[in-house]
Amino acid sequence: MSVIEVKNLKKYFGKTKAVDGISFSVEKGEIFGFLGPNGAGKTTAIRCMMDFIKPTSGEIKILDRDAQKDSVFLKEKIGYLSGTVRLYDKWTGKEHIDFIKELNGKNNIANDLIKRLDFDINSKTKSLSSGNRQKLGIIMAMLCNPEVLILDEPSMALDPLMQHEVYHLIKEASDKGTTVFMSSHNLAEVQKICSRIGIIKNGKMVAMEDISTLRQKSMYTINISFENEINSSDFKLDGIEIIKEMPKEISLGVKGDLNPIIKKISNYRIKDLDIEPASLEEIFLEYYGN
């Protein structure tokens, strides 16, 4: 069952085609990643889905309801996190949370979210760091167990430990039947938690991929220094490019599965190892550039 269905969505601002005819669907309980570089059209598409702006053309259905005609009904069913969390500066976190509870009823998991995200509810929001503002935004989006979660860059401004906690919360919501639509420009992020992704570039959907397929297209740069001299021919495997080599150091470009090269590296005594994922833009150029 498709919980979210978007057909030929277009949003133009004058001559600027922010979203130019994208289509996708998201199934019940799925975590769908909406992936693309900054400026690709992700936030514009989300704002259309939330009926904050009107599409130029196309159709959006959420829970089998028209996202524009049934906007008020749907906002009771959707937990939404904006890419830029906007808050009332004179309110505390508690006042924001209580306001959402009053709007959406008492069936909430606020206390669990507050504890897990280590959030101080008593501070005025004008004094909060960007990370704590993001935490409050996540709490407000998730606290009433919505049927649908629409999250615009959910890990923005969070430290790595807190990012992982947010990923756990998203997975738990999905396991309970919540449908999750999350935008990101972070390839590693969507690989961790999404089952399927749509890739948008310059307002157009350039690919729809299962996450397993995307992993096969992953690219890495590996820099290794060794205790002893190495035989660089050991690292000449399919999908691996030797970028730079010295008697005790080597830099490799790797496409796809890391396990074969990791096995080769483990035959040597390692002094230092750095594995750097390719940027999303590099992967676009390699696989989706045309």
Average pLDDT rounded to a whole number, residues 195-205 = 93
Average pLDDT rounded to a whole number, residues 196-203 = 93
The first and second tokens of residue 108, run together, are 């909430």
Q: Return the HEC string of 1-16.
A: CEEEEEEEEEEEECCE
pLDDT digits (tens, 9 = 90+) for 63-109: 999 999 999 999 999 999 999 999 999 999 999 999 999 888 767 79
The pLDDT, as a whole number, for residue 200 is 93
Q: What domains lie within the chain, and their CATH numbers?
A: 2-214 (3.40.50.300), 217-288 (3.30.70)
pLDDT digits (tens, 9 = 90+) for 226-268: 999 999 999 999 989 999 999 999 999 999 889 999 999 999 9
Q: How many other CB atoms are found less than 10 A from the CB of residue 72?
A: 8
Strands (E), 134-232: 148-152, 179-184, 196-201, 204-210, 219-226
pLDDT digits (tens, 9 = 90+) for 27-61: 999 999 999 888 899 999 999 999 999 999 999 99
The pLDDT, as a whole number, for residue 290 is 59
pLDDT over 90 (residue 178): yes
pLDDT over 90 (residue 116): yes
Average pLDDT rounded to a whole number, residues 106-119 = 90
Q: b vs e for 130-151, b when ≥16 Cβ sit within 10 Å of the residue's Cβ?
A: eebbbbbbbbbbbbbbbbbbbb
The pLDDT, as a whole number, for residue 66 is 98
Mean pLDDT of the chain: 93
The pLDDT, as a whole number, for residue 217 is 83
pTM score: 0.87
